[in-house]
Amino acid sequence: MAEYPASRLAERACRVEPFHVMRLLGRARELEASGRSIVHLEVGEPDFPTPEPILAAGRAALDAGLTHYTPAAGLPALRQAIAAHYGQRHGVDVDPARVLVTPGASGALQLVFSVRLEPGDRVILGDPSYPCYRQILGLMGAELVAVPLGPETGYRLTPERLDAAWVPGTRAVVVASPANPTGAVTGLDELRALHAICRARGAALIVDEIYRGLTYDVPDTTALALALAVEDLYVIDSFSKYFGMTGWRVGWVVGPEEAVAVMDRLAQNLFIAANTPAQQAALAAFAPETTAVLEQRRAIFQQRRDRLLPALRALGFGLSGAPDGAFYLYARLPEWLEMDSMDFATRLLEDAGVALTPGQDFGTHECDRHVRLAYTRDFEVLDEGVRRIGEFLADCGSTKKKPQV
C-alpha cells in the first residue's frame, strides 16, 4: 500500500492535526507494556465510574429491549428531563422543544457550527481552547480568529477583548465556561455583555458548558440564565464530565427554536440519533441519588485541585490563581527551564514516566510554555506525579539539560 498516493486524499481532511497528546498516550502505553510505571495526568476523563443509578437505568433499558432508534432530536422524555433540570438546578425556564439530544457534545458542535456558518465565515474563539473547535471549524471552511488569553483576564474572553478582536464577517463567537484547558469560568454578567456584542453585530454566541457542574468557590451557572438568552444563543452541554458518562456519548444543545428545527434535520442525516440505551440511562442522571454521588465527586475534584496546585507552584510552575472549574491546571513551565512544552512533555514521559498534555494541543499563544495537567486521579497518583516531576526538574536544573535536536 506504500504506493497509494496520499495526494488523492482531501486537503481539508489531511489538514486536521493529530492531537499531540494522542502520540504521547500511545508512547505511554508502549512504555507500560514494557513494564514501566506511568502516572497519567493527561487524561480529560474522570477516573470515577458512571454512577450506579445511571448504570442501573442502562441495564433496565437493555432488559426492556429498548434498543431501537429514537427520534433524531432525542427521546422526548430526555429532552423534557434536561429542560426540567435547568429549572431545578438553575431556576431557568427552558422549553423542551429547544433541547436537542446529540451524540456527545461533539455532535452538538457539528450541528451548531453547521446551522450558523457558511464557508468563509469568521469565528472568534480563545487561544488556548479545546482543539476540536478549530478542527471542526476548519473542516467546514470557517476562518478562525484566535484571541490570545492569559492570566491578565483570568484566561477569559472579556467583552473588551472580544470587541477589540472583532473583524468583518464574524458570524459566531465560541466561549467555553468552565474552559478547557484553563478551568476559567465566565460569569453571567460577562456572558451578558458578550451576548450583547454578538447580538448587535449579527453573530451567534456559542457557549460550551460541558464542564458545567464542575465549579469550585464560584456559583454554578448557565448562559441560559441570561435574560435575553433566546436569540443567537446556543448552549452546548453533555453528560460526559459532571455526570460521569464519557463513553456513553450523549450531549445536547439548547438553541433558538427555528435553529433546532434545522439542526433536527441535520441530525437525521448526520447521526440518525444518539445511542438509545445511553439516552435511557441518562434519564437517571438527574435523580437525587445520582446528584448526591456527583456532588460528592465535585468536592473530591476540588480537594485534588487544592492539593495539586500548591505542589506545582512549589516546583516553580506559573499558576496565576486557582481555576474555578473543570478538572485541569494550565501551568506555565518554570521560567528557568530551557525547553519548550512539547520537549518537556516528551522527556518527562520518557525519563520520569509522567504523561501530561503539551500546550501545543490548545493553540499557539504561549502554548510552548504551558502544559495541561488533569486532576482526574486520586491523591496518591497526583502526589507521585508531583514527586516525579520534581525529580525531573531537579535533574534538569543540575545538568542544565538542553532540548534535544
Q: Is 33 helix (H, G, I), strand (E, B) or coil?
A: helix
Q: Which residue number, 14 or 84, has a Cβ lying nearer to a second copy?
A: 14
Q: Which residue number, 61 or 356, has a Cβ lying nearer to a second copy?
A: 61
In whole angstroms, how close is the CB of 188 to a second copy at the nearest point? 21
In whole angstroms, how close is the CB of 69 to a second copy at the nearest point? 5
In whole angstroms, how close is the CB of 245 to a second copy at the nearest point? 7
Q: Which residue number, 277 or 316, has a Cβ lying nearer to a second copy?
A: 277
- Distance between CA atoms of 359 and 19, rounded to whole angstroms? 11
Q: Which residue number, 114 or 303, has a Cβ lying nearer to a second copy?
A: 114
In whole angstroms, how close is the CB of 260 to a second copy at the nearest point? 10
- Distance between CA atoms of 210 and 176, rounded to whole angstroms? 8
- Long-range pairs of 81-90 with CB within 8 A, sequence gap ≥ 24: 81/282, 81/283, 81/286, 82/237, 82/252, 82/254, 84/286, 85/286, 86/222, 86/224, 86/254, 88/286, 89/220, 90/220, 90/221, 90/222, 90/224, 90/225
In whole angstroms, how close is the CB of 339 to a second copy at the nearest point? 26
Q: Which residue number, 75 or 373, has a Cβ lying nearer to a second copy?
A: 75
In whole angstroms, how close is the CB of 27 to a second copy at the nearest point? 14
Distances (CA, A) of 318 to 12, 88, 211, 295: 36, 38, 23, 29
- How remote is the C-alpha of 75 from its chain's centroid? 25
Q: Which residue number, 236 or 393, has a Cβ lying nearer to a second copy?
A: 236
CB 285 within 8 A of CB 239: yes
